[in-house]
Structure 1
C-alpha cells in the first residue's frame, strides 16, 4: 500500500512543463545568463524557441559594449566575447568530441567563428556548412563542455548595410585582447589588455575614456593568462609578467633568442610553452595579407631552473594557435586531431605541422561537428 501511495505522490508532484502558461517562458529564459544554456532551452521545442530571445539578457559585455578608440585612431570599438566548447554526442559509441567557437556581443547576434582566422564560418570557408547561423544549431542532443573564454576587438558601426559583415571583422592591427582579472572580479577592477599596432601593449581600465600604452621599448607577439597571472612574450622570446595594478613588466624567463618571426604562448599540463614560428612574409600585417609558416620550433620553460628546454614530443597533446587565443588539446579526445601536432593559419588556410617528422600538411577537421547544423525551427 505504501508503494502505491509513493507512486501516486510522484505523479502528483510531476510537472507537465509544456502545459505551463506561455507568459512564464520569457521569465524563465531571463534567468539563463549563458549563451549555451539559452541555446539548449530554445532547442527543446518550437514553443520554447519562439518565446525566448536569441541572446542572454545578461552577458559579460553589458557593462562595456562600446570602447573608446585606441591612440592614433578615431574608430570606436566593440568588445566581443568568444567561448570555446567541446561538444560530444552522448549516444555515440566513441568518447571523441569536436570543438566549436561561438562569439557574440549584446548588440549583435551569436555567430560561429573559425578558431584560426577569428572570422564567421560563412566568411572564412570556401564551402561552409549549409547552415552556419546559431539559430540553426541543434544542441539538444549534444553535451557541451566550456573549455576557455577570450575577447576580441572589432570596429563598431551603426550602418545597417554593414551590419552582417563589419562588426565581425576583427581589427587587423590587433593581435590579441584579454580582459583581466577574470570575469568573476568586480567590473571596477577589470582592465582590457590589447596587443595593438605591431605589438605595443595597450591597456584600458573599464569605464575610462583613454587607453594607456605601456612604457616599454619591446614589442610583444603574444600574451596569456597562466596560473592567475598575465604574461607577455616579446620578439626574442623573453616572457614577462604584467603587474595589473602598476602596469609594470617583470621579467620571468631568460631570453630565448628564437630566430622565428612570431612567438606564441601556450599552456599545457601546467607548463608554459613558446612556439617559435619561422615565417615568410609579414605576420603582423592585416589578416588578409599573404604570409606562410615554413618551420616551427617548440620550447618549454623550466620555471624552477629558469631555463629553456627544446620540445620534440607534446605527450599526446596538440597545440592550436588561433588568431585571438591559443590552447592545447588531448588529441585522443577529438575527431581528426593528431597527437604531437600544431595547428595554425598559414598561406590563407588552416595548416598543421607534426613534430614527429617536421612535416606540414592540410589538417583533418576537428571543428565544428558536421551534424551540428540541422534546421529545426523557422525564425
Structure 2
C-alpha cells in the first residue's frame, strides 16, 4: 500500500475528478490518509437534499433515488485485542451515502442500514473493493417502494446526476413491464399481453428480462421487447437472473403457494379507500421457498443447462439486485449455496431476525441464517447472528 499512498497529489486529484459518483469518491477517500485529503467533496459538512422522483400511476410514490455500490469490505489492520493479523478479513456490504455525505453501510439483501458494529468503524482501517454499482429506490421513510419489484436505469448509461435525462425500466405489480422517464406523467407499458415478468438485469451492457416461463428477452434502444432464449419451462414460481463469471444463470424458486398477481394491485389502485387496501395487500401472506433449481444459458446452442453445483460461488438474491461472489474472497465462507429472503420475515428486519435463508445445493436443504451461524461470516458485522442490525 505504501507505493500507492505515495502517488503525487496532482495525480490523485485527477483520478478523483474522473470518478462518476459520490459513492465512488467516498470509497476512494477511504483507501488511506493521503487519498482522503486529495479528494474533497463539495459541501461535505452540509446536508445533502435527497433526489426525489415523483413516480406517477400505477406506482404513484414520492421515491428517493440513491447511488450505492455493492462492495467487498476488507479489514486492512488486525482486530483490537486479536493475536493474529495474518488473515485478511472481508465482508459483503452495500455502501450508500448519508445525507451528510458520509459512507453508510447497508444490508446487501434488505437495503436496511447497518447500525451495529462490534468494533470502532474507522474507515481508514478498511479497503472497499467495488463489485458492482447499484441504484436504490425507496420511500422517504426508508421502506421499499410499494408495487415496484425491480428496476434498472435506461439507457443503462443514464445517471441521476443529470436527472432531466434519467429514465428507468421497471417490473411492477408482480409482473408488468414499464418505462418511465423523468417528467413523464404516466408509465409506458411495454408489453400489454405478458404480465408475468419476474426479473430484470443488465448483462454485457444490455438489459435482459425473464418471465415466469423462463423465457429471456432483451430490450433494444427503441424499447422493443425481443425474445432472446427459448422458454425454460421450469416449474418454479419465481425466477431470478444472475450473472456469474461472464455467464447468465436462472435461479428457479419453487414455492409452497400462489404469489400475488397484477390483479391484486389493480384492485388497490381502483379502490377508493386505497390506504386500507395497501395495508391489507402488504400483510397478505407470501409463499415460501421449498426448493431451487439453477440453469445456465448456453448461448452458442441456445439451450438451458441444468446446473448441479456452483462450486465455490455464492448467489445472493437481493431486493434490488442479484449477484454472484466467490466464497474464497469472504473469510473462506461456504460456497455452493444461495442466500435469499423468504416469506413475510424480511420487512423491516435485520439478518438475525429470520429474514435471510440459505439454500445449499449439495444436500438441497434450506435453513434460516440465524440457525447456521457458520454461513454468516460473509456479512458485516461479524457474529451477526448474535447481534442486532
Q: 1:335 — aligned with what?
A: 331
**TM-score, normalising length from structure 1?**
0.72
Q: 1:181 aligns with which of 143, 155, 158?
A: 155
Between the aligned partners of 1:291 and 1:201, the Cα distance in structure 2 is 22
Q: 2:127 — aligned with what?
A: 143
Between the aligned partners of 2:381 and 2:76, the Cα distance in structure 1 is 13
State the 1:295 CA deviation. Answer: 0.3
Q: Is the 8 A contact 2:94 2:111 kept in 1?
A: no
Q: 2:92 — aligned with what?
A: 99
Q: 2:361 — aligned with what?
A: 355
Between the aligned partners of 2:283 and 2:103, the Cα distance in structure 1 is 22
Q: Is the 8 A contact 2:249 2:297 kept in 1?
A: yes
State the 1:40 CA deviation. Answer: 6.8
Q: Secondary structure at the match of 2:123?
A: coil
State the 1:356 CA deviation. Answer: 1.2
Greater shift in the superposed pair: 140-149 or 198-207 = 198-207
Matching of residue 230 in structure 1 with residue 207 in structure 2: yes
Change (3 A) 1:114 1:290: farther
State the 1:142 CA deviation. Answer: 1.1
Q: Is the 8 A contact 1:39 1:139 kept in 2?
A: no
Change (3 A) 1:73 1:266: closer
Between the aligned partners of 2:285 and 2:104, the Cα distance in structure 1 is 24
Q: Secondary structure at the match of 1:87?
A: strand
Between the aligned partners of 1:139 and 1:109, the Cα distance in structure 2 is 11
Q: 1:66 — aligned with what?
A: 52
Greater shift in the superposed pair: 358-367 or 266-275 = 358-367
Between the aligned partners of 1:170 and 1:108, the Cα distance in structure 2 is 22
Q: 1:120 aligns with which of 96, 113, 120?
A: 113
1:258-269 → structure 2 map (5 Å cutoff):
258-269=234-245
State the 1:197 CA deviation. Answer: 1.2
Q: Is the 8 A contact 1:80 1:104 kept in 2?
A: yes
Q: Is the 8 A contact 1:85 1:147 kept in 2?
A: yes
1:1-379 → structure 2 map (5 Å cutoff):
34-35=22-23, 37-38=25-26, 41=29, 65-91=51-77, 92-95=85-88, 97-104=90-97, 111-122=104-115, 128-129=116-117, 137-156=121-140, 166=141, 168-183=142-157, 187=162, 190-218=166-194, 219-243=196-220, 245-281=221-257, 286=282, 289-335=285-331, 337-347=333-343, 348=345, 349-363=355-369, 364-365=375-376, 366-370=378-382
Structure 1 gaps, min length 5: 1-13, 18-28, 123-127, 157-165, 373-379
State the 1:369 CA deviation. Answer: 4.2
The alignment of Structure 1 onto Structure 2 pairs a total of residues equal to: 320
Between the aligned partners of 1:290 and 1:237, the Cα distance in structure 2 is 21
- Listed one character per residue, the Cα deviations across residues 30-89 of structure 1 (whole Å, up to 9, x for unaligned) are 9985336437758959x98xx9789699x9x98xx2223232354322222221111112
Q: Secondary structure at the match of 1:76?
A: strand
State the 1:118 CA deviation. Answer: 2.5
State the 1:292 CA deviation. Answer: 1.8
Between the aligned partners of 1:277 and 1:328, the Cα distance in structure 2 is 17
Change (3 A) 1:368 1:145: same
State the 1:267 CA deviation. Answer: 0.4
Between the aligned partners of 1:303 and 1:93, the Cα distance in structure 2 is 43
Greater shift in the superposed pair: 213-222 or 247-256 = 213-222
Between the aligned partners of 1:193 and 1:55, the Cα distance in structure 2 is 32
Q: Is the 8 A contact 2:229 2:303 kept in 1?
A: yes
Structure 2 gaps, min length 5: 1-5, 10-15, 78-84, 261-280, 346-354, 370-374, 385-389
Greater CA radius of gyration, 1 or 2? Answer: 1
State the 1:104 CA deviation. Answer: 3.9
